[in-house]
Amino acid sequence: MATIRVYYDYFNDTLSPIWLLLHFGRGGIDWSKEHLYMPIQAPFYRIEAEEIHEDTMSLSILLEDLTINPYEAGYYGIRLDRVLKRIHKQQLLVDPYDIEQFVIQLGDLEEVLQMDVRQHYQT
């Protein structure tokens, strides 16, 4: 299971959550799965900029990599198959096994979760 932390910074003079960091450790991501589902957990463990280790192999998760869990409320998903395709397509010189951490912009995650909520309120 991942350690979930959130990096906060000032946006429009207000302290706001910016990045969700999912730390798995080296070899901790099961790339044989199509999706990785994670619970939406709050409150988030807040970290400072100094606590983000520059030597940690991180990969950004894009909006198009995110989904919701159609079977369990309160979980979002990361489409690992898309992430792997992007790694290979962009010819990134990284072994997926070495990726220790995913970084997600909280705005992207909120957008995916809102899209799901809107489906339930359509008339």
C-beta of residue 46 within 8 angstroms of C-beta of residue 95: no
Q: How far apart are CA 35 and CA 82, in angstroms?
A: 9
Q: For residues 31 and 44, what is the distance between their CA atoms, to the nearest angstrom?
A: 26
Domain boundaries, the chain: 3-120
The model carries a pTM of 0.83
Separation between Cα atoms, residue 108 and residue 104, nearest integer Å: 7
Question: Cα–Cα distance between 34 and 36 in angstroms, integer?
Answer: 7
pLDDT tens-digit readout, 11-62 = 788 888 889 999 999 999 999 999 999 988 766 677 777 777 788 899 999 9
pLDDT bucket at 97, cuts 50 / 70 / 90:
very high
Q: Please, are residues 34 and 81 in contact by the beta-carbon 8 Å criterion?
A: yes
